[in-house]
C-alpha cells in the first residue's frame, strides 16, 4: 500500500507538471498548494492550471466573496498591519545588556554556569571546556556546539534557542533585565540563605508556618541579612511573609494560589488537583561525591520515593514536585479554564462581547482565543529567557554555589563568599542534619543544564499571567475559596479576606517561580526578573494583536507586577 501511495504521488506530480490532468486532480492539487505551500506555491499552481482550464466561471468565483475588502485591498491591509508591527518593534531603542561582572572577574569561573562540562575535584570547570562553550555561544555555529566537551552523558539544554527569532511581539534580543546579584555580594548571600531555609522547611505544611520552630527560625535569620529583598512587615521577615512574592495579593490569604487547588473543568471531565508527591525528607545532592558527579554531568543513581496517597499541594516539597513534572504552561491553562468557568462576570469589562446583545465571542475575545494565547506566549517568553541565560548572564546555579561554600567552609578552597551567609545560623543547621554544607536539592538530577538567570518557569508565569489579566477582571472575587489541610488530603473552606483574580494570578506567578527555589534550582532574583521579562513579552504580543481586531475595542487594561496600570 505504501509503494502504491508513493507511486501515485509521483504519478500525480508528473501529471501536474506536464499539464495533462483531469479537473478533479488539479483542483485538489491547487487547493493543497494554496493552503499548505504558501503564496509562491499557490501562484505557480494558478499559472500552470488556470481557472479557465478548470471550466470555472471566473466572474462567479470572484462574486462568491463578500466583505468590506476585495482580495487585493485585504492583502494590502494585512501587509500593512504586519509591516507596522515590525516597524514599531524595530524603532524601539535598543537596550543595554550588562552582566554582573563575575565571568570576567573570576579566572576560574566560580560564579558562572558550567554544569555537565568536565570539572576538577573542587567542582571547578575545566577552562578549555568552558572556552569551547563560550566560543560556540559567540559564533552561533551549530557545529561548534557539538564540539563542546562533556563531563559525561548529560547534554546542554538547547543553547541555540538563544538565537531563535520571533514573528510576533518583541525580538528576544530587544528585551533586557538588570544584572543578577554578584557572587560576593550581600544580596547573593541573602538569597542563598533563603534557599537553605526553604530546603530545610520543605516538609512544613504551609498552614503551620506560624507555629513551626523551623519556619520561625527562618524568619528570624533572614531578617538579619542586610540586603534581603523578600517581603517584610515592619522591616522584618515574618512567618506570614516567609518565602512569598513581592506583588499585590502575595501576602493575602493562603500561601498557595486558588488556581493550584481548585478543580479544573476540562471538557467533559473535571481534573481534581491532587498529585503524586514525594515522601518526607526525600532530598538529594547532600553528599559530596553525589554533588560532584552531578556537576560533571553524570546521570543520577538515586530516585524519588513517592507517597502512595495523592495529595493537594500543602507544603514546599509538594510544590517543588509539581514543578518538576509540569509542562510549560500547565498551571496557566488550568487557571484559564477555571476563570472561564466563572462566566461572563469574570471577563474584563473592556471585552467587546460583554455587553453585545446579538453576538458572542468565540474566535476572538472568548475561550478559544484565551486558551490559544496563553499557550502561545509561553514559548515566546522562553525565547527571551534563553537569550538572557546563554548569551548575557550565564549565572551559576545555587547547587554549584553551595559547593563553593562547602569547600570554603571545610578549608579545601578559599572563595570570596560574603560573611553574612558564612556566619548564618542556617549553615549550622544544614551541617548538623546532613554532614555537609551542600544545598539539599529536591530532584535527584539536580538543576537543569542551562544557566540560572532569569528563571524559565518565572518567564512563562509572567507572560501567561499577563495574558490572563488582560482578558479577565482583576477585581473579580473568586467564589468559594479553599485551603489545603495539613497533610493535603482535603480542601477546607478559606474563611479569611476576599481573594481576587488579580491577586491570585500574582500569587500563582510567585508560586511557580519561588516553587522552583524551594526545590533548590533558582535564586529569588531569577524569579523576580524572569516574571518581569515574561510580562514584557506578553505586552509586546498584545500590542501587535491590538491592530488585528474588527470589533470596537478600547484596548487591554491590566495591572503590571510592579503595581502600575497600563492600557495596550
- Confidence check: pLDDT of 1 > 70: no
Model pTM score: 0.90
Q: Which residue has the higher pLDDT, 36 or 411?
A: 411
Using 50, 70 and 90 to split pLDDT, how confident is the model at 65?
confident
Mean pLDDT in residue range 386-394: 98
Tell me how far apart the alpha carbons of residues 406 and 287 are, in angstroms, rounded to a whole number.
11
Task: Please state, in angstroms and rounded to a whole number, the distance separating the CA atoms of residues 474 and 505.
Answer: 9
Q: Distance of CA 44 to CAs 20, 38, 216, Å?
A: 16, 10, 73
Question: With 60 as the cut, is the pLDDT of residue 395 above it?
Answer: yes
* Residues 291-303 pLDDT 10s: 999 999 999 999 9
Q: Which of 29-43, 82-96, 513-527 has the lowest mean pLDDT?
A: 29-43
- pLDDT confidence of 62, banded at 50, 70, 90? low
Mean pLDDT of 16-20: 36
User: Which is nearest to 124 in space by CA: 295, 286, 284, 291?
Assistant: 295
pLDDT in tens, 460-488: 999 999 999 999 999 999 999 999 999 99
Pairwise CA distance, residues 71 & 6, whole Å = 36
Summarize the confidence of residues 142-164 as an average pLDDT.
98
Grid coordinates given for 511: 508560586
Give the DSSP H or E segment for 541: helix 524-545
* 308/6: higher pLDDT: 308
Structure-block grid coordinates of residue 73: 485591498
pLDDT at 9: 38
Query: What is the distance between the alpha carbons of residues 358 and 352, in angstroms, rounded to a whole number?
Result: 12
Q: What percentage of the chain has pLDDT greater than the value 70?
A: 89
Over residues 491-514, the pLDDT tens digits come to: 999 999 999 999 999 999 999 999
Choosing from 174, 393, 457, 522, the catalytic residue is 457
What are the C-alpha distances in Å from 26 to residues 18, 29, 49, 107? Answer: 12, 5, 7, 67
Grid cell 511581539 in the structure block, residue: 169
Number of H helices, E strands in the chain: 20, 6
Q: What is the pLDDT of residue 323?
A: 98
Q: What pLDDT does 5 receive? A: 35
Q: What is the mean pLDDT of residues 115-119?
A: 98
Asked about 97 being catalytic, the answer comes back as: no
pLDDT, position 13: 37
Average pLDDT over residues 445-464: 98
CA atoms within 13 A on the CB side of 323: 31
Residue 46 has pLDDT above 50, yes or no: no
Q: Which residues contact 409 (CB under 8 A, 6 or more apart)?
A: 422, 427, 437
Examine the residue annotation and report whether 457 is marked as an active-site residue of this protein: yes
Note whether 284 and 440 are within 8 A (CB). yes
Going from N- to C-terminal start, the domains of the chain cover 1-64, 102-174, 186-567
Q: How confident is the model at residue 285 (pLDDT cuts 50, 70, 90)?
A: very high
3-class secondary structure per residue, 316-330: HHHHHHHHHHCCCCH
Q: Is 284 left (phi over 0), alpha (psi -120 to 50) or beta?
A: beta
Are 526 and 455 in contact, with CB atoms under 8 Å apart?
A: yes
User: 425-434 and 186-200 are packed helices; what angle lies between their axes, rounded to 10 degrees?
Assistant: 40
Check residue 55 and give its pLDDT.
Answer: 52
**Does the pLDDT of residue 362 top 50, yes or no?**
yes
For residues 63-67, give the mean pLDDT: 79
Residue 262 grid cell: 481548585
Best CA proximity match to 237, nearest among 223, 249, 248: 223
pLDDT higher than threshold 90 for residue 8: no
- DSSP β-bridge partners for residue 558: 566
The average confidence (pLDDT) of the chain is 91
User: CA–CA separation, 12 vs 499, rounded Å?
Assistant: 62
Strand pairing of 269-271 and 557-559?
unpaired
Which CATH number does 186-567 carry?
Answer: 1.10.606.10
Q: What is the DSSP string of 224-293?
A: T-TT--S--BTTB--TTTTT--SSTTTTSS-SS-GGGTS-EEETTEEE---B--BPTT--BS-SHHHHHH
Residues 6+ apart with CB under 8 A from 39: none
Please tell me what DSSP assigns to residue 298.
Answer: P
Residue 226 has phi, psi (to 5 degrees) of -75, -25
Per annotation, catalytic residue among 173, 174, 393, 450: 450
Whether the CB-CB separation of 178 and 99 falls below 8 Å is answered with no
Question: What is d(CA 192, CA 215) in angstroms, rounded to the nearest whole number?
Answer: 16
How many other C-beta atoms can be found within 10 angstroms of the C-beta atom of residue 385? 33
Q: At residue 25, does pLDDT exceed 60?
A: no
List CB contacts of 380: < 8 A, sequence separation 6 or more.
166, 168, 169, 463, 537, 541
Distance CA(395)–CA(450), nearest Å, equals 9
Cα angle for residues 406, 411, 413 (degrees, 5° grid): 75
pLDDT at 64: 76
Q: How far does the chain reach from its first CA to its final CA, in angstroms? A: 55
Amino acid at each position: 500500500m505504501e509503494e502504491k501511495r508513493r507511486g501515485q504521488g509521483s504519478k500525480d506530480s508528473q501529471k501536474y507538471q506536464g499539464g495533462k490532468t483531469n479537473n478533479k486532480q488539479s483542483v485538489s492539487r491547487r487547493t493543497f498548494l494554496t493552503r499548505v505551500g504558501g503564496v509562491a506555491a499557490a501562484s505557480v499552481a494558478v499559472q500552470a492550471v488556470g481557472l479557465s482550464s478548470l471550466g470555472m466561471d471566473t466572474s462567479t468565483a470572484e462574486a462568491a466573496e463578500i466583505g468590506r475588502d476585495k482580495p487585493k485591498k485585504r492583502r494590502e491591509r494585512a501587509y500593512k498591519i504586519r509591516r507596522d508591527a515590525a516597524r514599531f518593534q524595530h524603532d524601539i531603542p535598543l537596550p543595554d545588556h550588562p552582566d554582573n561582572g563575575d565571568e570576567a572577574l573570576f579566572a576560574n569561573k566560580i560564579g558562572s554556569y558550567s554544569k555537565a562540562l568536565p570539572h576538577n575535584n573542587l567542582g571547578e570547570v575545566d577552562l578549555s571546556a568552558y572556552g569551547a562553550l563560550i566560543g560556540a555561544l559567540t559564533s552561533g555555529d551549530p557545529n561548534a556546539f557539538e564540539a563542546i566537551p562533556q563531563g559525561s552523558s548529560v547534554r546542554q539544554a538547547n543553547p541555540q534557542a538563544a538565537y531563535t527569532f520571533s514573528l510576533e511581539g518583541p525580538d528576544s534580543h530587544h528585551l533586557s533585565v538588570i544584572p543578577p546579584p554578584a557572587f560576593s555580594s550581600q544580596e547573593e548571600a541573602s538569597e542563598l540563605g533563603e534557599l537553605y531555609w526553604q530546603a530545610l522547611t520543605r516538609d512544613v505544611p504551609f498552614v503551620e508556618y506560624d507555629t513551626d520552630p523551623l519556619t520561625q527560625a527562618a524568619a528570624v535569620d533572614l531578617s538579619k541579612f542586610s540586603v534581603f529583598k523578600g517581603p517584610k512587615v515592619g522591616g522584618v521577615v515574618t512567618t506570614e511573609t516567609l518565602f512569598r512574592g513581592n506583588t499585590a495579593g502575595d501576602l493575602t490569604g493562603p500561601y498557595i494560589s486558588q488556581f493550584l487547588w481548585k478543580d479544573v473543568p476540562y471538557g467533559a471531565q473535571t481534573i481534581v488537583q491532587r498529585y503524586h508527591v514525594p515522601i518526607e525528607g526525600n532530598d538529594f545532592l547532600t553528599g559530596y561525591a553525589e554533588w560532584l558527579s552531578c556537576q560533571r554531568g553524570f546521570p543520577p543513581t538515586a530516585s524519588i520515593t513517592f507517597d502512595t496517597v495523592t495529595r493537594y499541594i500543602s507544603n514546599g516539597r509538594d510544590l517543588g514536585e509539581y514543578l518538576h513534572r509540569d509542562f510549560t504552561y500547565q498551571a496557566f491553562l488550568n487557571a484559564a479554564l477555571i476563570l472561564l468557568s466563572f462566566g461572563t462576570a469574570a471577563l474584563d469589562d473592556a471585552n467587546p462581547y460583554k455587553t453585545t446583545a446579538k453576538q458572542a465571542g468565540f474566535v476572538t475575545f472568548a475561550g478559544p482565543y484565551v486558551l490559544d494565547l496563553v499557550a502561545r506566549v509561553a514559548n515566546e517568553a522562553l525565547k527571551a529567557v534563553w537569550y538572557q541565560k546563554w548569551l548575557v548572564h550565564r549565572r551559576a546555579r545555587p547547587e554549584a554555589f553551595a559547593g563553593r561554600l562547602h569547600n570554603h567552609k571545610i578549608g579545601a578552597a578559599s572563595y570570596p563568599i560574603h560573611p553574612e551567609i558564612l556566619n548564618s545560623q542556617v549553615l549550622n543547621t544544614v551541617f548538623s542534619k546532613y554532614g555537609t554544607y551542600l544545598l539539599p536539592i529536591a530532584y535527584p538530577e539536580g538543576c537543569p543544564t542551562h544557566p540560572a538567570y532569569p528563571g524559565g518557569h518565572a518567564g512563562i508565569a509572567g507572560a501567561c499571567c499577563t495574558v490572563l489579566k488582560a482578558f479577565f477582571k482583576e477585581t473579580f472575587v473568586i467564589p468559594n475559596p479553599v485551603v489545603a489541610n495539613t497533610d493535603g488530603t482535603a480542601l477546607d473552606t478559606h474563611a479569611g479576606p476576599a481573594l481576587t483574580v488579580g491577586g491570585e494570578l500574582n500569587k500563582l506567578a510567585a508560586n511557580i517561580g519561588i516553587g522552583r527555589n524551594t526545590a533548590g534550582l533558582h535564586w529569588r532574583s531569577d524569579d523576580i526578573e524572569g516574571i518581569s521579562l515574561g510580562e514584557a513579552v506578553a505586552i509586546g504580543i498584545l500590542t501587535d494583536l491590538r491592530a488585528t481586531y474588527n470589533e470596537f475595542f478600547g484596548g487591554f487594561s491590566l495591572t503590571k507586577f510592579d503595581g502600575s496600570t497600563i492600557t495596550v
